[in-house]
A and B are shown apart, each in its own frame.
Chain A
Amino acid sequence: DGGITQSPKYLFRKEGQNVTLSCEQNLNHDAMYWYRQDPGQGLRLIYYSQIVNDFQKGDIAEGYSVSREKKESFPLTVTSAQKNPTAFYLCASSIIGSNQPQHFGDGTRLSIL
């Protein structure tokens, strides 16, 4: 079945540590997105990519980095510069410029130790 796989489901970060969240899709979608979700705040866009080897900052990119070396993969690194990383992180993908729905993974919950 086609879909988006996020791993791990739960992740703990120590102070000063970088951690990487994985997102893989087999939907052949060009566009991929990373969102952060905090209680009562809805989804906020961190980064998005519409083509391999290219990505754009979203509304809250500070303290995060991404790469898009393959169409199927869009990993997100939460760096030590992100002082408040505790949140639920969602990865999504879509076909660019179409009326097809956006698809989401099941999320990764990141907490600070």
Chain B
Amino acid sequence: KQEVTQIPAALSVPEGENLVLNCSFTDSAIYNLQWFRQDPGKGLTSLLLIQSSQREQTSGRLNASLDKSSGRSTLYIAASQPGDSATYLCAVKDSGGSYIPTFGRGTSLIVHP
């Protein structure tokens, strides 16, 4: 069964720092990997989706990479801002046919002015 781990569980950084959030998964036979943002008391908003054949995706200050062979993905946030404060979750969709994503527990990010 796929297991998804996110490290660190929590992160607090000053504004302006570049930072990296990590996501690891146990089964490399994936269909895609998706990064989400969740604000307190809200649903999840999709940030980036990387297909299994891709190595990275970029959107503005966000860059997500995927290394299937090592079972890892990273979300890079450039020049962090207080508005980036949220919980970031990754979800892995297996290629076995069920198409049901497995979620990590998330990284809670605080960017302070």
Contact = CB atoms under 8 A, between A and B. Distances in A.
Interface of A: 4, 6, 31, 33, 35, 40-43, 45, 48, 50, 58, 88, 90, 92, 94, 96-97, 99-107, 109
Given A99-B32, A101-B34, A42 B41 contact: no
A106 B34 contact: no
A45 B99 CA distance: 13
Nearest to B9: A40
The residue in A42, A50, A92, A104 that gathers the most chain B C-beta atoms within 10 A of its C-beta is: A42
Interface string B67-96: 000000000000000000000010100000
Nearest to A50: B99
Contact of B45 (A50, A97, A104, A107): A104
Task: Determine chain B's interface SS by DSSP, over half rule.
Answer: strand
Contact of A41 (B32, B36, B51, B105): B105
Contacts of B43: 4, 6, 90, 104-107
Q: Report the 5 A-B pairs with minimum CB-CB distance, sorted nearest first.
A: A104-B43, A42-B105, A101-B46, A104-B44, A43-B103
Contacts of A4: 43
Interface string B45-71: 110010100000000000000000000
B49 A107 contact: no
